[in-house]
Structure 1
Amino acid sequence: MDEVLNILFNPLPNAIMTLLTGLSLVYWLFTLLMGDGFDFGSQSGLEFEGADIQDLDTPGDTDSNIEHAEPSFLSKTMDYINIGKAPLMVLVTLFKFIGWIITLITSMTFNLSSYGWKSVIILIPVFVLTYFLMHYVTIPVAKLYKNVGYSGEEAHEFLGRTGKMKSSIQGQSIGSVEVIIDKDVIRLNVQSVDGSKIAYGDEVVIINETEDKKIHLVQKTINLNSF
């Protein structure tokens, strides 16, 4: 038993990864005890109370303005490990578990305990390797959730909601807007619906989205402060 504990918590990288993986285990045990089980992602979405979204004035052929918009680097890195195709906590747990196993094997193979606290540097290449392995590990996981009808964790309906710009946009440039829903702060990638300039801090309304639902189209709201 002492030998097992020594492997799990010595050297420092092993202790860090054991603790992180243990926290995920506690999370899943707590989830099961609460009766939630493993959420397969059935969702109803929030109903927007107010104006009918279809009645909002939207310019025609808006998708043509963003058809060739290049996804951000962050979006590409997230897509690579199938984030959005399975519950985030499932993917986070897999990442920790794979990283934990690699760390244990590495520490025993290279005798990292002899490096003291400096051995923690090994976590950098471990995380990089884990990231690339996640691409292949999450493929069957994403297929499983697709087969059970999982359609993403985003249960909010954003069309018709207002938010505050966190960047300036004009033409086909892509920026971000901050939307607050039930005290949760959510940031979305947005683009001006007609290409007009929208400045940082302007209040905007989300009136459309691209076909792939990755970019929302906004226009500046009209109020007394606009004049």
Structure 2
Amino acid sequence: MTKLSVNVNKIATLRNARGGNVPNLLKVATDIESFGGQGITIHPRPDERHIRYQDARDLKKIVKTEFNIEGNPISKFIELVLEVKPEQVTLVPDSVDAITSNAGWDTIAHKEFLTDVIKTFKSAGIRTSIFVDPDPKVIEGAKAVGTDRIELYTESYATDYENDKEKAIRPFIEAAKKANELGLGINAGHDLSLDNIKYFAQNIPNLLEVSIGHALISEALYLGLDNVVNMYLQRLK
């Protein structure tokens, strides 16, 4: 079964809007695990506009499932990850002012940089994953830089799903086949939702993990967090 890691950035955004500690990020993360969530994901950005660097330190103490920290590997981020030592780090090439992640790595152009960063994390015993578009050449490049896994950037799938889901999934199937051939683990994330997650999971061979935040938290406003977590788990079976 594909594991569900819940991104709690939106909980931090809501908390920060009032400057207090409501909702309590640590309590929500603990509740998500008790509801059946199999991991907690955070994506701290340099301006700490939602997840704060201290949140990463605090979450490490209480997360009992898999802890995944995403982000652009600038020096401050690298230092944080090496300090906290999550089970997984996911490298994302987002710019400082990006509202959300909007592209995968060019693993060929950034080969030397990614190789060095991944070596640093792996030497600390942290599993590495890199955010990539569904391009077989980019995935070959991911293998070359030494990453353990890739995370398929699924915005294009989510955008095209309603119009032609078979066409939308096709490049991701080919990307997954290439990753499997190369022995890379496969994660996925970005704009996956209750509407499109089941079809994606059914068609991607050896999908190990999905990381879902914005859609899941938005759906939970209507349906309840416990209920939504379990609805995702049912679709991932």
TM-score normalised by the chain length of structure 1: 0.23
TM-score, normalisation: structure 2: 0.22
User: Over alpha carbons, which structure has the higher Rg?
Assistant: 1
